[in-house]
Amino acid sequence: MFSFRTRVAGLERIGWGLASAITLGYVLFVALLSYVARHHPQWLTGGGRMTIAMGAALVFIVAVLTLTAAYLHRLRRRDSQPGGPEPRSAPEPGR
Amino acid sequence: MTANVHNGIAIACFFAVIAATLGITWWAARKTASRDDLLVAGSRIPGIHNGIAIAGDFMSAATFLGITALYFTSGFDAVIYILAPLVAFAILLFLIVERLRRHGQYTFADVICRRLDPKPMRVLAAICTLASGVMYLMVQMVGAGALMQVLFGMRYSHSVALIGGLVVLYVAVGGMLATTWVQITKAALLVLGVTVLSFAVLMRFDFDFNLLYERAMHVHSDGRLLTQPGGLQLDVISAVSLALAMTFGIAGSPHILMRFLTVPTAAAARTSAFVALLITSFVFTLIFFVVSVGGVALITGEPAFLDTNGKIVGGTNMVAIHLSQLLGGAPFLGVMSAVTFATILAVVAGLTLACTAALSHDLFANVVRHGRCSETEELWASRIAAVLVGVFVVVLALGFEKQNIAYLASLALTLAASTTFPILMLTMYWRGLTTRGALVGGGAGLACAVLLVVLGPAVWVDIFGFKESIFDSPYPGIYSIVTAFGLSWFVSILDRSEQGVADRRSFAAQGA
């Protein structure tokens, strides 16, 4: 059956997926920008005042905010269900 | 060269900031009676307040003044610095803060020591915290001293001593509660200041973005770079290396991690991360898309802000300050200068507190006194540590006044990315990590980062004066991060010691 532990693991997997996707998206964006600027600058000539690169940066910011808000919402729903959040383990004395 | 020497409003705002922060410290001191209070404000800070404080802790004067300056000179490539913190806060929210809050007490080392051998790991964690913290503090103090000279006409030595003295007072007397409210005040001032500045820029161009960008591209020496990449002239490896060091460095910064231990629950820690992400996104978006472009459009070639050599008065770091003077006259200049001063105080306070906790809790209480330290002893050890850190950093800042120490900022982030971040992530998520693996990986990451920065152009050429650097790139993050993760993994899988077996077994006991 779908136990609480499984749901935590499921949500954690989503967290890993989102964190990886955002990090990879950022690194690829930065790599692509430097590659194009160095090797194919002609691709960047012309265009409007708000270029594709600027638009992509804005989209990235909005995407990160939306994804984190959605994830936070899911976690809140998990915490409000019976069983609630996982118990907090107190740090061991002297460690 | 001083912008505010005769600006009464700036002086009034300057003293208002000092009075407000001292008032906060006096109020906080009455509520700070225990070790818990001093180091983590009794873990009673609400999530939203903590999120605002984290934003205040993270956004240094370098973000406000430095990013505007970077856009002024290198254009769109400043986007690398804008997006990295957002990715870092997302990583913190998705993967780190919940477990950190659940298993940590005063420092991130508490989390690591729950499953690995506490003594050597505490020593390594303290070394990492102190190394990156002191480097970052030096950059802040030397930059602050120079900035205060320009902003308020104060002598460098007086500025450094004043900031050091105030911060020691906040940390030693008011502890985390005072630091938190200083950071909240600063974050509020910064958000307000940047919003008003952005509004003023847009008003000057009738709220027409096209007009703003057209004007900026027209007056800039290479207008194309304002909306397109290429200004920093980074090769792909260097760009990726910088991006990774920034992201993992922020996510692994001990002073940021420590803030998540000041809230009562894991849920509040998540809320903190999200609020910090929201505020940082808002401020950075305005700085990047409006304030920086306004700086180029309105300050470039403006005779009032050029010195006799045709350079910007006070350097390009002053573009945002000049912009506030141009748009709002002396009153706005005074307010923005005070915002910058508050920014410096808040960041230095956060860093000092993290170094203090590493010295008193990790090293003194748990290594020197083997965890048998009374609460009162640790409380006083923390206060003494705060004074020692403050004095040490002031002395260093005075000694390095004329030195170019910009490389220390990237080194501090690279160190956190190559030591704290890998060890923390592997401790939390990889069953196979052993004490031996963490020590070798973390130590190698630290050594690799320091060595490659020293052999790189920022130190080998700019400081030592050699013609060519031994290591090409000024951004060694990708190598030191891979070294730290790789060696932690490799040594751990080879580790057949009794301690290694115990370390693996304790992963399950650690729980989620």
- Interface with chain A: mutation pick from B82, B94, B240, highest number of A CBs within 10 Å: B94
Beta-bridged to residue B373, according to DSSP, are none
pLDDT digits (tens, 9 = 90+) for A4-23: 444 446 778 899 999 999 99
CA distance A43 to chain B (A): 10
Higher local confidence (pLDDT), A45 or B278: B278
Which of B87, B234, B242 is nearest residue A23 as measured by Cβ atoms? B87
Which tens digits make up the pLDDT trace of B346-373? 999 999 999 999 999 999 999 999 988 8
Q: Tokens 């260093």 label which residue?
A: B396
The residue behind tokens 């002598």 is: B155
What type of residue is B311? K
Burial grade of B399 (CB within 10 A; 0-12, 13-18, 19 or more): exposed
* Rounded CA separation B394/B31 (Å): 28
Taking residue B300's Cβ as centre, other Cβ atoms within 10 Å add up to: 18
Distance CA B398, CA B141 (A): 9
Closest by CA position to B423, among listed B434, B413, B411:
B434
B214 contacts A33? CB cut-off 8 A: no
- Among B188, B208, B238, B227, smallest CA distance to B78 is for B227
Poorest-pLDDT segment among B35-44, B271-280, B396-405, B449-458: B396-405
- Residues in A closer than 8 angstroms to B240, CB to CB, are 27, 30-31
Contact B201, B212 (CB under 8 A): yes
- Band (pLDDT 50/70/90 cuts) for residue A50 is low
Predicted confidence (pLDDT) at residue A43 exceeds the cutoff of 80: no
Q: What is the mean pLDDT of residues A45-72?
A: 83
**Mean pLDDT, residues B298-320 taken together:** 88
Name every chain A residue with its beta carbon within 8 A of the beta carbon of B230: 37-38, 41, 44
A86 interaction partners in chain B (CB closer than 8 Å):
102, 266, 511-512
Name the residue of chain B whose CA is nearest to A54's CA.
B227
Of B317 and B323, the structure prediction assigns the larger pLDDT to B323
DSSP string, B348-378: HHHHHHHHHHIIIIIIIIIIISTT---HHHH
pTM: 0.92
**B512 touches A at CB < 8 Å:** yes
Q: What is the pLDDT, as a whole number, of residue B5?
A: 55
First to last CA, chain B: 56
Is the Cβ of B76 closer than 8 Å to some Cβ of chain A? yes
Q: Do residue A75 and residue B270 have CB atoms under 8 angstroms apart?
A: yes
Does residue B2 surpass a pLDDT of 70?
A: no
Q: Which residues of chain B are within 8 Å of residue A95 when distances are taken between CB atoms?
A: 110, 113-114, 118, 366, 371
Residues of B in contact with A19 (CB under 8 A): 90-91, 94-95
Q: What's the pLDDT tens digit per position in B435-487? A: 999 999 999 999 999 999 999 988 899 888 899 999 988 899 999 999 999 99
Give the ranges where B220-368 is alpha helix by DSSP (H): 236-251, 254-259, 266-286, 292-299, 319-357
Q: What is the DSSP string of B123-141?
A: HHHHHHHHHHHHHHHHHHH
Contact A57 B83 (CB under 8 A): yes
Mean pLDDT of chain B: 91
Which carries the bigger pLDDT value, residue A84 or residue B168? B168
Asked if A31 lies within 8 A of B105 by C-beta distance, the reply is no
What is the ipTM, given to two decimal places?
Answer: 0.91
pLDDT tens digits, B32-91 = 999 999 999 999 999 999 999 999 999 987 778 889 999 998 899 999 999 999 999 999
